[in-house]
Amino acid sequence: MSSGNSSYGDIHRYEPARESTAAAIAIVLLTVIEVVFVALFTYGLMSAWASTEAGNMYVGALLAFIFIDLAFILLLYRKEFLPDVMIVKKRRRKWEDLYVREEDKEGKGIDTGGLADTLKRAVYPYYKK
């Protein structure tokens, strides 16, 4: 799929997803567990479990389990169901990020009329011209 002259936006590598059945079953089971944790967390908030020190730790642990379970669901989904695609991107020079035209990339000098020498003499009185 890769040509010798890759230009901006060309797909350099494309590997389709594996889409395994075991991963699909694992995602469904993790989603069911996720729904149970969310229901317990919501019930705990509505029942004011967090008003005691032990209940506060329990509600916090439920919230941690919710995010850890969600992380595993997303990890499995990304690994097993999303294709591996590499797209060629054009590397831009730094001055292009500032929307500067190529002829203005060096900038323009300013005419100080001896201002630099005046400032040097003000800071360092023994400066010789």
Among candidates 72, 65, 81, which has minimal Cα distance to 29? 72
Residues listed for the chain: 129
78-103 pLDDT, tens digit each: 998 888 777 776 666 665 566 666 67
51-86 pLDDT, tens digit each: 999 999 999 999 999 999 999 999 999 998 888 777
Radius of gyration from C-alpha coordinates of the chain: 31
Side chain identity at 73, as an amino acid letter? I
E strand or H helix that includes residue 64: helix 53-81
1-10 pLDDT, tens digit each: 444 565 666 7
Tell me the domain boundaries of the chain: 11-102
Query: Is the model's pTM score more than 0.75?
Result: no
